[in-house]
Amino acid sequence: MSAVRLRHAVVTGASRGIGAAIADALETEGFRVSRLARSGAATIRCDVAEADSVTTAFAEARARHGPIHVLINNAGQTVSAPFAKASLDSLRRMLDVNLVGAWQCTQAALPDMLDAGWGRIINVASTAGIAGYPYTAAYCASKHALVGLTRSLAKELARRHVTVNALCPGFTDTDMVGAAVTRLAAASGRSEADARMTLAAFNPQHRLIRPEEVASAAVWLCRADAEGMTGQTLSISGGEIPS
């Protein structure tokens, strides 16, 4: 049996979109995969913002597949509003899910990686973690914080053979972006097709990123020959944001 088939990957937010694509790609690569999500078929139930939920979910994942070697912190939420009207509760929710969730899941998985002397942590951030967008101050703040966490952990774990990187997709063809299209169309009075084109236009290739493109980058970072890649923010945005 190959070494990769002995490795266990946990993917949060794995019931759809980017998370599902990464989980599928890792399984194809030969990893044993635990899919965590708040809902969805074939997943371990987990709300990453709740400490007890994380503890229970990771214990179940270990019971199924053994020690954890790869963690994909993909679970996330977005909210949009003019800054003057944005609530403090919305900021706290963005931080709880997009930052604290990754923090808690990393603390849950890291001991196994340190024991094994090998690990991969990949935080799915966003181009919003590198640049800024209007009407998404809380989301951008949480994703910038996630990138900061990535860089700090990469330095801390550099000599422990555990790499930590962030994937920063641009607007991606997922349910989350679909909801943004609907909100944009309603707010502007335009059709959803026009609203979708507005988001696609951020990408110099004038298209939405496909979840499979993000998954391909994740799989590469999980390979043994990617050990030199750590502390990086990889922009997957058709050239919109240089990383």
Q: Are residues 119 and 94 in the same domain?
A: yes
Query: Could you tell me if 165 and 229 are in contact, meaning their C-beta atoms sit under 8 angstroms apart?
Result: yes
Residue 176 counted as domain residue: yes
Whole-number pLDDT of residue 243: 72
Per-10-residue mean pLDDT, the chain, length 243: 76 96 97 95 93 98 98 95 95 98 98 98 97 94 98 98 97 80 74 80 91 98 96 96 81
Residues noted as catalytic? 139
Query: Could you tell me if 229 and 221 are in contact, meaning their C-beta atoms sit under 8 angstroms apart?
Result: yes
Q: Are residues 186 and 219 in the same domain?
A: no
Q: Are residues 132 and 188 in the same domain?
A: no
- The domain of 156 spans 3-170+210-228
Whole-number pLDDT of residue 1: 45
Q: Are residues 150 and 79 in the same domain?
A: yes
